[in-house]
Amino acid sequence: MKLIDVLNFDEAGLIPAMIVDSVNNRPLTLCYMNREAVQKTLETGMVHVFRRSKGRLMLKGETSGHTQKVKEIAIDCDGNSLAITVEQKVAACHAGYRSCYYRVYDPAHDSFVIRDERVFDPEDVY
């Protein structure tokens, strides 16, 4: 059975996909894919996403050059979400960090701590 046939897209035709770093298994970003994005990802081996804010299909990293080469695609038990392990070029986060999950909540101070260093300056890329 083909992957596309077992996915349960939501009422908007989207499915969430957690993008995971193949180097350390940390989450890089959460994106949404429509049927076309899944098909393009499968065809090219590069992550394609449906950008809700722009209303269109995009190659992840098409503006920055920070692309994601697919290493593995996993599906959850209900077919409601994907976990895609990738070889990340430079960084996944538009704020300049390797991961979008660069802030960690510190309950003792009810605040967030930045745990990573920036790997690029967004002003130079966007």
Tell me the two tokens of residue 89. 């070029």
Within-domain flag for 124:
no
CATH number at residue 73: 3.10.20.810
Report which residue type is found at 39: Q
User: What pTM does this model have?
Assistant: 0.93
pLDDT at 1: 80
Number of domains in the chain: 1
Give CA 71 to chain center in angstroms.
13
pLDDT at 126: 86
Within-domain flag for 126:
no
Find the domain containing 113 and state its range. Answer: 3-119
Predicted confidence (pLDDT) per residue in 34-69, tens digit = 999 999 999 999 999 999 999 999 999 999 999 999
Within-domain flag for 49:
yes
Residues 6+ apart with CB under 8 A from 57: 34, 36, 37, 40, 48, 49, 50, 51
- Chunked into runs of 10 residues, the chain (126 residues) has average pLDDT values of 94 98 98 98 98 95 96 97 98 96 97 96 90
